[in-house]
Structure 1
Amino acid sequence: MNTTITANSRTKGFTLLELMIVVALVAIIATMGYPSFTELIVSQRVRAAASALYDSLLLARSEAVKRNTAVSMSVTNLKDGWTIVTSDSTLLRTQEPFASLEFSPTNPSIAYNGFGRLSSGAGAKITVTSPSSSKSRCITIDTVGRPRVAEGICT
């Protein structure tokens, strides 16, 4: 059995110069994409906070109907989080703070009666904004008690 091994006259691989050019191109592309990436992160934070607030309002309303008792949510300082409590002070939910966002509620508290309708806070609106961006969400609560979320600042 005759086997011959021939050595390549040229080794395969990357040179240091080629590697440095690729790293430089990746750095340039990453630098160009960074501002849009940070804007995406801010937008997602605003969306997540508005969604958490919306979910808490739905929970408060459904628990009021289920327990046939008043359920309230204090919205005076939403930046530090919020709690949902029943009329007999049973804690239903505690929300962690959203420190990097600003909340602008029109009413200091929102309370649902046993029928799921607002007993206080009728027509309440809460704007969730980011101080570092123009991104915002508006949560409105109609007179029946249903919350709705929309993009933009509440008017």
Structure 2
Amino acid sequence: MYASLQSFPASLFGEFDRLRRELDDVFGSAGLPTSLRSVAPGTFPALNIGNTPSSVEIYAFAPGLDPAKLDVTLDRGVLTLSGERASTLPEGEDRKVTVYSRERVYGSFKRAITLPEDIDPSRVTATYRDGVLHVSIARRESPQPQRIAIQ
């Protein structure tokens, strides 16, 4: 066997991903998404989206928000989360603060999520607890196959 074939990487796409990460480390990613399903660094709130056979579950990690300032809307299969996060820095002339690094974003935000076609917009629940917004959207009852007796 040729030596080059023996050392061929097991996952060609894995090697491309490793190369991209190394280039990002050297040159920076310029705040661009790194894959098809990712978002730009610093996008707020971070989301986990999944489904069960009976619902679609969205978890938005948004600590330090006032639930009264959150707005959750569902329109034509698009769930929109929006709101505002206040700055934690002291304000006013008498309180001058020098910031060396800021990793926690503040200001207004908006995230839109396209949902599957089989959701039931009349059965949506949203709860906010311990900095996590949980939105659960039930799926429509789908017709089950019916066995037909042959006479």
Q: State whether TM-score is above 0.5.
A: no
TM-score, structure 1 normalization: 0.30
TM-score, structure 2 normalization: 0.31
Structure number having the greater helix percentage: 1
Q: Which has the higher contact order (CA 8 A, sep 6+)?
A: 2
Structure number having the greater strand percentage: 2
Structure of larger gyration radius = 1
